[in-house]
A and B are shown apart, each in its own frame.
Chain A
Amino acid sequence: DAGVIQSPRHEVTEMGQEVTLRCKPISGHDYLFWYRQTMMRGLELLIYFNNNVPIDDSGMPEDRFSAKMPNASFSTLKIQPSEPRDSAVYFCASSPSGRMAYYGYTFGSGTRLTVV
């Protein structure tokens, strides 16, 4: 398996523009997580899905952020409109359930977002 795949790796956009981050989890993993990492706040959970259904979105900063998981192999995190304070590294991770949860999370390489 190629692991958790995120795209793009880097994104530079102007304030007010829409940004879409993409994630492909590991096949067979039924949990998918979106995290944001900044120097000040560390790694923060934004939202997570189980079997494509959002379970907890309490970490989503505000209505400008939205996430979808239309099928088991794809998820998006959208920011509209983007603001400079959204600049961060966004990570996607996936995890199996049941007995396989023993093996924990696998993270993608992240998307470094810069909003100017």
Chain B
Amino acid sequence: KQEVTQIPAALSVPEGENLVLNCSFTDSAIYNLQWFRQDPGKGLTSLLLIQSSQREQTSGRLNASLDKSSGRSTLYIAASQPGDSATYLCAVRKQAGTALIFGKGTTLSVSS
């Protein structure tokens, strides 16, 4: 059974700092991996999606990497801003026709 773990559970950093959020999964046979952002009391917004054949994806200040063989993904946020404060969720999909399995998230707080 696939399990997704995110460490740390919470992270506080000052504005401007570069940071890395970690995600690990127990079964390396995945179809894709998706990073989401969730603001308090809100739904999930997709940030980046990495297919199993890809190594990384970039969007603005965000860069997500995937190392399938080791069962790891990282989300790199450059020059963090207070507006980046949110919970970041990692999720993996085993096959195209299956459901995403989520980690419990990392709650990020960026202070100005």
Contact = CB atoms under 8 A, between A and B. Distances in A.
Interface of A: 31, 33, 35, 42-43, 45, 48, 50, 55-56, 91, 93, 97-98, 101-110, 112
B64 to A, nearest CB: 12
B42 interface: yes
Interface stretch (B10-18, B19-27, B73-81, B93-101): B93-101
A31 B93 CA distance: 13
B46 A105 contact: yes
Contacts of B105: 42
Interface string B28-52: 0001101010000111111001010
Interface centre among A91, A102, A105 (most CB of B within 10 A): A105
A104 B97 contact: no
19 contacts: A42-B102, A42-B103, A42-B105, A43-B102, A45-B99, A45-B100, A45-B101, A55-B97, A93-B44, A93-B100, A101-B31, A102-B32, A102-B51, A103-B49, A105-B34, A107-B36, A107-B44, A107-B45, A108-B43
A50 B97 contact: yes
A101 B32 CA distance: 10
Contacts of A93: 44, 100
Name the 8 nearest CB pairs between A and B, nearest first.
A42-B104, A43-B102, A107-B44, A109-B43, A104-B49, A101-B96, A45-B99, A107-B43
Interface of B: 31-32, 34, 36, 41-46, 49, 51, 89, 91, 96-105
B58 to A, nearest CB: 16
Nearest to B101: A45
B99 A48 contact: yes
Nearest to A46: B99
Nearest to A40: B104
A99 B101 CA distance: 21
Nearest to B34: A104
Contact of B43 (A42, A98, A104, A110): A110
A109 B42 contact: yes
Contacts of B91: 43
Contacts of A104: 32, 34, 46, 49
